[in-house]
Structure 1
Amino acid sequence: MRRRMLLGTPLAMATGLTLSATGRDALAQADRENTLYLDLKDGRVVIELRPDLAPKHVERIKTLARQGFYDNTPFHRVIEGFMAQGGDPTGTGTGGSQLPDLPDEFSPPSKVRFLRGTCGMAKTAAPNTANSQFFICFAPASFLDGKYTIWGRVTAGMENVDKIKKGAGQGGTVRDPDRIVRMRVAADVAG
């Protein structure tokens, strides 16, 4: 389990460590740099980014979010009890950004697992093919552990993810899919 060292945590209190206002501001800004706001039709989803697990994938997500790439893209594949997949501007499941594909950044299951709210990167069966498509798990999916890159986790608003329109059949293709309203890095959003 990963712990943050912040003012007021047991470690800080036990050791007598304190942070100046500047230090607290820097920590708050660093947290905002690694927080994503995913706005959906039913409300905001807050995602904690995990550059410690997948630095290249986190940087890609932030780059594309800052470009507005994800805005109005559909959740083209949504399987009840499994996951919601988006990030393809074509809505076909075959599209991506103009940026090159990323090398796999798999984490060992002993370190992190695909649980409810985990954000992973979609890819083809071939290695090193993740680009812009991602998914959010509705439930634990241990069969993905160590085979797909984990880049974040939902920390608030999972009820809004649960309301994404589900697809039909095993493929989960969605007719008239819900769309991402907007995706932004928290550090870029006022307030």
Structure 2
Amino acid sequence: MGFRSAVKALILAMVLSLAISPAKANELDPENTLYLDLQYGRVIIELFPRVAPNHVNRIKELTREKFYDGIKFHRVIDGFMAQTGDPTGTGSGGSSKKDLRAEFSNIPHDRGIVSMARTNNPNSANSQFFIVFENSSFLDGKYTVFGRVVEGMEYVDQIKRGYGRSGTVRNPDIIIQMRVMADVQ
């Protein structure tokens, strides 16, 4: 690796570390923080507007419309992730809004990362998203990361798991409500 490449890699690493550096809830930007309330407790999600601005805007727009309130965790795979955001609860639904173009990044799909679900088309993310239970590097660079859980991962861990390879959940848990922190202060 030449000097220029090394400097570019260092700068990229510094930018990414700023984008995802650990934070406490009281240090977060209220406009870019979500409260996701489950029956087990409150999950606090830090959004990454510099990494995925269009996806962050969509999530906040739908949250402010109360789109996610009462939505099921329809696909939950033990050791992998919990997926939600489909108003039909089948995994094939979304909002009435236009699908989003991918905003892939170098942020790894580590435990607690929140990323957009999509079809085989990389530009098909709409309203569904998932929270990663365990590091899932095979997703890196293939799904748009838009945030991470900073508090309440122990509540995410309690979401009812699905059955079989599909992770379909019988009697699934729901999002009681989801809000932008700025709107509830």
TM over 0.5: yes
- Aligned residue among 91, 110, 118 for 2:113: 118
| Letter paired with 2:77 | I
Note the alpha carbon deviations across 1:103-153, whole angstroms, 9 max, x for none. Answer: 000003xxx100000000000001210000000000000000000000000
Question: Structure 2 CA distance, aligned partners of 1:138 and 1:29?
Answer: 24
- SS of corresponding position for 1:3: helix
C-alpha deviation, 1:52, in angstroms: 1.0
User: Which runs of 5 or more structure 2 residues have no equivalent in the other structure?
Assistant: 1-15, 20-25
* Count of residue correspondences: 164
- Aligned residue among 167, 171, 180 for 1:172: 167
User: Which runs of 5 or more structure 1 residues have no equivalent in the other structure?
Assistant: 5-27
Quick check: 1:3 aligned with 2:18? yes
Identity of aligned residues (%): 62
- Which residue number corresponds to residue 46 of structure 2? 48
Question: Structure 2 CA distance, aligned partners of 1:152 and 1:127?
Answer: 18
- Aligned residue among 90, 93, 97 for 1:92: 90
Quick check: 1:38 aligned with 2:36? yes
Residues 29 and 187 in structure 1, CA contact (< 8 A), matched pair in contact too: no
The TM-score normalised by the length of structure 1 is 0.83
Quick check: 1:186 aligned with 2:176? no
| Letter paired with 1:185 | V
C-alpha deviation, 1:3, in angstroms: 3.4
- Aligned residue among 141, 144, 151 for 1:149: 144
Larger radius of gyration: 1
Change (3 A) 1:92 1:120: same
The TM-score normalised by the length of structure 2 is 0.86
Question: Structure 1 CA distance, aligned partners of 2:18 and 2:110?
Answer: 18
Over the aligned positions, Cα root-mean-square deviation in angstroms equals 1.4
Question: Structure 2 CA distance, aligned partners of 1:159 and 1:102?
Answer: 30
Question: Structure 2 CA distance, aligned partners of 1:99 and 1:148?
Answer: 19
Question: 1:16-27 residue pairs with structure 2 within 5 A?
Answer: none
Q: Which runs of 4+ in 1 moved over 3 A?
A: none
